[in-house]
A and B are shown apart, each in its own frame.
Chain A
Amino acid sequence: MADSALVRAVRWDTVVGALLIVVLLFSFGFVDGFGNALNLSFLIGNTLPIAMVALPMTLLVVSGEIDLSVASTAGLSGAVMGALWNQGMTIETIIPLCLLLGVVCGLINGLLVTRLGLPSLAVTIGTLAAYRGIAQIVLGSDAVTDFPTQYLDFAAGRLGDSFLPQAFLPFLVLLAIAVVALHATPFGRSLYAIGASEEAARFAGIRVRRQKLILFTMTGLMASLTGIFWALHYASARYDNATGLELSVVAAVLLGGIDFDGGKGTLGGAIAGVFLLGALQNVMSLVNVSAQSQIVVTGVLLVVSVLGPRVARQISVARAGRRAASTPTS
């Protein structure tokens, strides 16, 4: 049908993808210092933590839940990593332990939400504070910086002479896994049903609580992986690493068209949202927009990101409605 292409064209994730391309093209052409390899590697390197956490967060928000404790879990993992390193443990032992810790953090969130039926917003605001507090108890105000060189080099280094960080390739693998998990497996499909109507999902035999528990656990795991990456990338493990990361992640994911109420959006859109936000912040820094003004822009973008997908959807619903009305049923 002629207007199905139109309907698809107003899908918000496509809009964000197009915006990202426009911003990149514009920046290459008109922003001094944007296109050089060093800046691009900074841009991507600084955006990677957001992108990593955005993967499970997208799945979580699609299923109608949210995890605001991710930054604290990341910080806690980094802090524990630093503390254990100071104790003389080998990094090869520390990293699996920290990942396990992330799993536990996620599991706690998930159990509180699924077993006690508490709203995830409230639960994870609570654990946001708790996990960060534990991080401070564990590491105090120390900064651990003397991690093994080959790990630091991996986390901060670039692929050959290119602008791509070395960590970008593993990220692409994770992205591919997440895309397949959300869009092609029965598990991912059921998340959309859960997010759109948890009751109908339950009546369709979907194991809602189990799926959510898995999601929270995966989110904890990814958050701690991000925390490890963060500490190595910036060569500094502190208790306050990644503070505020959850806001960037949620903002980017919403900007990418993931509906806060659940049930809608694509991972492609979410990742486009992440890099759009990253690119805009990078450009603003390059053209000397003050930090305060950057916050204003980010705030406005957040509002737009909640509004935009709704407007886009309304347009396509109006079109679909016209189409449905033009084909009488029964």
Chain B
Amino acid sequence: MTNPSDTGPAPVLALKDIAKSFGAVRALRDVSLTLFPGEVHALAGENGAGKSTLIKTLAGVHRPDAGQVLLDGAPVVFHGPGDARDAGIAVIYQEPTLFPDLSIAENIFMGRQPRRALGRIDHKATHAETAALMRRLGVDLDPDRPARGLSIADQQIVEIAKALSFDARVLIMDEPTAALTGSEVARLFGVVRTLREQGAAVLFISHRLEEIFAICQRVTTLRDGALISSEPLEGMTEDDLVRRMVGRDLEELYPKQDVTPGEVLLSVRRLTREGVFTDVSFEVRRGEIVGLAGLVGAGRTEVARAVFGIDRRDAGDVEVDGRALAGGSPSAAMSAGIALVPEDRRAQGLVMDMSIERNIGLTGLRTSVKAGLVDRGAERSRSLDWAVKLQVKYARIADAVGTLSGGNQQKVVLAKWLATGPKVLIVDEPTRGIDVGTKAEVHRLLSQLAADGVAVLMISSDLPEILGMADRVLVMHEGRLTAEIPRSEATEESVMAAATGRAAA
């Protein structure tokens, strides 16, 4: 199933019939992949399809059980990541790890700075070489600028420059856009196109299908560790690709049920946090999903934090089911019936080193109690119950939650909060960075919860998600609520106009 190309350039890197097993389970089964210079190649598949294992095999982290890695047509064996790097293969991860206090140039040449006599670092040469790299990438970044304060997109560009300084010919980009805003994605894509024109081979992983179609020429799809297809993207539709990834036609991505809203469960009046957001008032009714849209930094997350009591509020009132809620206390918000699924599941939603069971149990520490002690039986059955209800895929409930894929981690966060039986559920970017299948599951779940009488406030930067799921859309712009748009009138244009402050909707 390889795609030997008789015409055009020879492949720079190829995997041939790679197999890799962990214990009894086969993570990769006879997978082949060919990367040509001057090509951006998408690697598609759901979480757990084997993408990570494949990348790690290319990067020299895993050694395949069977099959060959061919570099310029000759078989090679990578004994470690260093070998792969020396062979010109570089991996750019989602969240770059730069030294914040060092300059861009120092980051790029860390540990191998050009030297002058007596071993002194040649700052001038470091600067010049970095400037040359930036010119090659067609970006305007000052080599002497410290890495602190760079946007994630710019940090990734620095990582790319670093890879180029190692003469990388193959760049593997593992979900580089997951944390980027629209304009940052455009900036990164500009760099990727430049690289392509200069003859690099890029392997691009993203859950956002529109990005795959925007930047890639060919796509290789994996499902359950097996190669499904490797083909040009031209002529394919998003539905075709999803079918290959999921192995079936995906049920509707936005399965929103019609619900007649009931009484007001969450009422926020004139909420203000100085310098962050001002005079924010809204209501969420039983059975409603209210979308909160806006650009990153508009203050949406901050409103959610203030409602839940993570941050103090300077003015304004919050009422849950008719009762006033004191500010500044998440435990009071929980008791009142609010649940918050935060935007950063790794830092805020979960304790990564703790087991699935204990993570779900955290919100029940005050309720799963018998005679003052934690009732372990009740804790376990509560956790198992919700893990099963949300179809979390795990080996053992006692495994650290950090071993799960992103989509399953998000399900654990949801489980943890649904187990509290909330009246009001606030979800902040509920489907960021999770695959399309899990995304549909989360949407179905939110819709079902609303139908069961929960008031849902959904913050999202994913506009189709907002339009597909929300009964009403609130829009924030620079710390103020600028529009409230009913479902029937919500369009990309009307929401974006309010989000960018162009219209008084």
Contacts and interface: CB of A to CB of B under 8 A. Distances in A.
Interface of A: 1, 180, 184-186, 189-190, 192-193, 196-197, 199-207, 263-264, 320-330
Nearest to B225: A328
Contact of B403 (A180, A190, A207, A321): A321
A205 B46 CA distance: 33
Interface stretch (B168-176, B229-237, B280-288, B392-400): B392-400
Nearest to B379: A189
Interface in B62-92: none
A329 B363 contact: no
B48 A328 contact: yes
Contacts of B435: 330
B374 interface: yes
**Dominant secondary structure at the A interface:** helix
Contact of A197 (B224, B351, B403): B351
Interface string B406-448: 0110000000100000000000000000010110000000000
A328 B363 contact: no
Interface in B359-376: 361-363, 365-366, 369, 372-374
A200 B347 contact: yes
Given A186-B365, A328-B224, A203 B342 contact: yes
A145 B333 CA distance: 55
Given A205-B334, A330-B438, A184 B374 contact: yes
Interface residues of B, number: 54
A309 to B, nearest CB: 13
B48 A320 contact: no
A203 B25 contact: no
Given A205-B333, A206-B362, A329-B408, A196 B437 contact: no
A6 to B, nearest CB: 14
B307 to A, nearest CB: 13
B353 interface: yes
B47 A330 contact: yes
A189 B348 CA distance: 18
B404 interface: yes
Interface in B327-365: 329-331, 333-334, 340, 342, 347-354, 358, 361-363, 365
A207 B349 CA distance: 16
Nearest to A328: B48
B393 A330 contact: yes
Contact of A185 (B225, B340, B374): B374
A319 to B, nearest CB: 11
24 contacts: A186-B369, A186-B374, A189-B361, A189-B362, A190-B362, A196-B353, A199-B347, A200-B350, A202-B330, A203-B349, A204-B330, A204-B362, A206-B365, A207-B329, A263-B351, A320-B400, A321-B403, A326-B24, A327-B25, A327-B395, A328-B48, A328-B393, A329-B394, A329-B408
B403 A324 contact: yes
Given A186-B369, A326-B24, 14 more contacts: A190-B365, A192-B354, A197-B350, A199-B348, A200-B347, A203-B340, A204-B362, A323-B396, A325-B25, A325-B53, A326-B25, A328-B25, A328-B224, A330-B47
B310 interface: yes
A230 B118 CA distance: 59
A69 to B, nearest CB: 29
Contact of B416 (A190, A196, A204, A329): A204
Contacts of B362: 189-190, 193, 201, 204, 206
B348 A203 contact: yes
Contacts of A321: 403
A200 B349 contact: yes
A180 B22 contact: no
A8 B99 CA distance: 37
B217 interface: no
B267 interface: no
Contacts of A205: 330-331, 333-334, 363
A313 B348 CA distance: 24
Nearest to B23: A326
A1 B398 CA distance: 12
Contacts of B50: 328
A330 B333 contact: no
B405 interface: yes
Contacts of A192: 351, 354, 358
A75 B330 CA distance: 39
Contacts of A189: 358, 361-362, 365, 374
Given A196-B353, A200-B347, A320-B403, A329 B331 contact: no
B48 A329 contact: yes
Contacts of B373: 180, 184-185
Nearest to A259: B353
Contacts of A201: 351, 362
B27 interface: yes
B216 to A, nearest CB: 23
A28 to B, nearest CB: 37
Contacts of A180: 373
Contacts of A330: 46-48, 393, 405, 407-408, 435, 437-438
Interface string B247-287: 00000000000000000000000000000000000000000
A200 B345 CA distance: 9
Contacts of B27: 325, 328
B338 to A, nearest CB: 10
Contacts of B395: 323-324, 326-327
A185 B370 CA distance: 10
Counting chain B CB atoms within 10 Å of each CB, the highest count among A184, A320, A326, A327 belongs to A327
Counting chain B CB atoms within 10 Å of each CB, the highest count among A200, A202, A263 belongs to A200
Which 7 A-B residue pairings sit nearest by Cβ, starting from the closest?
A326-B23, A324-B403, A325-B22, A186-B365, A326-B22, A327-B395, A205-B334
Interface in B134-191: none
Counting chain A CB atoms within 10 Å of each CB, the highest count among B21, B399, B408 belongs to B399
Nearest to A208: B330
B351 A196 contact: yes
Contacts of A325: 22-23, 25, 27, 53
B327 to A, nearest CB: 14
B23 A322 contact: yes
B363 A204 contact: yes
A289 B287 CA distance: 75
Contacts of A329: 47-48, 393-394, 404-405, 408
Counting chain A CB atoms within 10 Å of each CB, the highest count among B21, B22, B50 belongs to B22
A1 B354 CA distance: 20
Nearest to B308: A203
Nearest to B332: A205
A201 B365 CA distance: 12
A36 B405 CA distance: 58
A226 to B, nearest CB: 26
A207 B329 CA distance: 8
B195 to A, nearest CB: 31
Contacts of B400: 320
A149 B461 CA distance: 75
B173 to A, nearest CB: 22
Counting chain A CB atoms within 10 Å of each CB, the highest count among B47, B366, B373, B435 belongs to B373
